[in-house]
Amino acid sequence: MKIGLICPASLPATQFGGILFLAVDIANELGKNGHDTTIFTTNLDFANNPHTFNKKLPKHEKMDNFQINRTNVWFHLKLFYINPKMYFEIKKSKPDIIHTIGVRSFQSLIASLISKYQNIPLVISDQGGLTTHPELKQGGIIKKILYTIQNPIIKFIVKQSTKIIVANKYEKEIFQELTNESKINIVKNGINLDIVKNSKINFKEKFHIDNDFILFLGRFNKVKGIDNLIRAWKIINSKNHFKKIKLVIMGVDFGFQKEMLMMIDEKKLSDSIIIIKKPLRDEVFAAYKACLFLVLPSRWELSPLTPLEGFAFKKTTISTIAHGIPHTLTDGENAILVEPENYHQLSDAIENLLKNQNLRDNLSQNGFKLIQDECNSKKMAENVLKIYEDILSSKN
């Protein structure tokens, strides 16, 4: 089968986020099984900031089990990247099926146009909170106008799709407002279990950390609840028996870094919080391995991959009950979930896990079992391939 996977970003832009890893993992697993798989994407490099495009990246790159086809971005606005040449690259490739990940993108529009005019089945996955992401209701008048303009494009993409893949019931309900339920299939997100083998850095040694630490990993954005984490950490740090514990915050600035650093300084937490900007992927793996547990106090998530990656290293997560999170993490079984705005509850949960190693171990072990049984890239790719095969069988 010849498969075209479409994504706004791919390797080496690893700091772009979850949809990149989902596309890469699906491509890699399908390629292992002998399918001719190409990721069509932009030349986003992400070496220094969210808008770094690198014309020196290979236009065509052969990876171990798949290929990457990159085209240059002519213009961008926020995370909306315009690379018209992608249309001709996909058309020339003539895939049997097209699967685009990240619906609110120029790349998904290109995919749907190719699908329409070349009569190629289209599968779409969003992973971006099609109508529920907080940023859709925030920002200035220009941003709101742009999102409004996108709405008819999204309706066109959804209408053109043959099947829609969603990560959980929460996301399914979002799409049911736009299309028939029969179009929608649930495939749980999965992570590549081989990431554990890639953890070769001594994290504490590299970053001069002498004590135990807990980890936040994600974009420096207010949506991620970093402000509430800092407030909760102030409570934790005020207690003598936790003075030596550190909080490590790793990520890339998405508009909150300056305010975050000011909060840390104002609350006199500079000695207790370690900030690591633009971490390498190997450093992320090493952080998972070395931390006590993760904290992801988000105000919004659809189906977070970070806790699943933590599970691969047998580390549990404290998160919130916001939006799609309870469809990925189970409170009291493999994680602890709190109210998204209740930093007192968050500090209590952190203190509870710091004190109770048996609880940490039990939650972590259950999380590890979840990804072994259900939420791994091999299982995810098998389920996705079954959808492709059913579509092509029906078409024939």
Question: In order along the chain (396 residues), what is the average pLDDT of each group of 10 residues?
Answer: 97 88 96 97 80 91 97 87 96 97 94 97 86 64 70 92 96 92 96 86 94 95 95 93 93 92 96 94 94 96 94 97 95 97 97 96 98 96 98 88
Strand segments (E) across the chain = 2-6, 36-42, 60-62, 67-71, 75-77, 80-82, 97-101, 122-125, 163-166, 184-186, 213-217, 246-251, 273-277, 294-295, 317-320, 335-338
For residue 318, what are the contacts with CB-CB under 8 A and spacing of at least 6?
293, 294, 295, 296, 297, 335, 336, 337, 338, 346, 349, 350, 353
- For 78, the 3-state DSSP assignment is coil
* Order of strands across the sheet that contains 97-101: 60-62, 67-71, 36-42, 2-6, 97-101, 122-125, 163-166, 184-186
- 284 neighbors 250 (Cβ within 8 angstroms): yes
DSSP states along 306-323: HHHHHHHTT--EEEE-ST
State the number of CA atoms in the 13 A half-sphere of 9 facing the CB: 23
Closest CA to 257 of 281, 276, 238: 276
Q: Which fold has domain 194-373?
A: Rossmann fold (3.40.50)
Query: Which pLDDT does position 15 carry in this prediction?
Result: 80
Query: Which pLDDT does position 290 carry in this prediction?
Result: 96
Query: Which pLDDT does position 14 carry in this prediction?
Result: 87
CATH number, span 2-190+376-395: 3.40.50.2000
- 328 neighbors 307 (Cβ within 8 angstroms): yes
Ranges for all domains in the chain classified under CATH 3.40.50.2000: 2-190+376-395, 194-373
* Order of strands across the sheet that contains 213-217: 273-277, 246-251, 213-217, 294-295, 317-320, 335-338
Q: What is the DSSP letter of 90?
A: H
Query: Which pLDDT does position 79 carry in this prediction?
Result: 73
Closest CA to 15 of 53, 54, 45, 56: 45
Query: Which pLDDT does position 198 carry in this prediction?
Result: 75
- For 214, the 3-state DSSP assignment is strand
